[in-house]
Amino acid sequence: MTGPLRRGDRQLHGVFRQKRAPPLGMYINHDDLSILASAPPQAENVVIQGLEKDVLDSKCSVQAMKQKIEILKRKIPSSQKINELKPGKADWMPLNPRVSGRWTHEELMLAAQGIRRYGMDFSKIVQMIPSKAETHIKTFYVSYQRRFGLDELVKEHELDLRHEDLIDDTTSIPSNI
């Protein structure tokens, strides 16, 4: 690219290109960068080896903590299961969760399960997902109809209802016999 850079140019080379942030959890220290830039090639290896040692030490401490957790799990009496000691859903869910239009992955899966279980009865599905209103569930159905195959889930629900009706009809004994 020769000549002056214009605003309409899609790619800017060199200093002008967009700066990218480091990966999540990685922090770049200015002192380390200045040492790497100003030192001879062998010094770079020393700095990198020091950083690799820090990473290895962190991994070792994580592994040691995992082993301590396993030891503590084994000390819990077998009559008491870990799941009993964990806080339940009622402990962490707010009493009146705010109604939100944003869908989390868990809410999407719950809505699909609700459609499988209750069909088009959106009022029952709303009871499964307290952070959504009935209009949210209806919009979910229209928006995610193809992605989650919601029509098929409704058909499965209807087949289950028919199957349950058939079972109820065959198990009921007429009273005049």
Q: Do the domain assignments include residue 173?
A: no
Answer whether residue 15 is part of any domain.
Answer: no
Domain that holds residue 59: 28-81
d(CA 145, CA 152): 9
Q: How many domains does the chain have?
A: 2
The tens place of each residue's pLDDT in the chain, 177 residues long, gives 455 555 555 555 555 555 677 677 777 778 877 877 777 766 667 767 777 888 888 888 888 888 888 888 777 776 666 666 665 555 545 554 678 888 888 889 899 989 988 989 999 998 888 888 899 999 999 999 988 889 998 998 888 888 887 776 666 555 555
The whole-angstrom distance between residue 64's C-alpha and the CA centroid of its chain comes to: 27
Report d(CA 90, CA 81) in Å as an integer.
18
- CB neighbours (10 Å) of residue 138? 13
Question: What pTM, to 2 d.p., does this model score?
Answer: 0.42
Query: Domain check: are 106 and 136 in the same one?
Result: yes
Q: Tell whether 7 is covered by a domain.
A: no
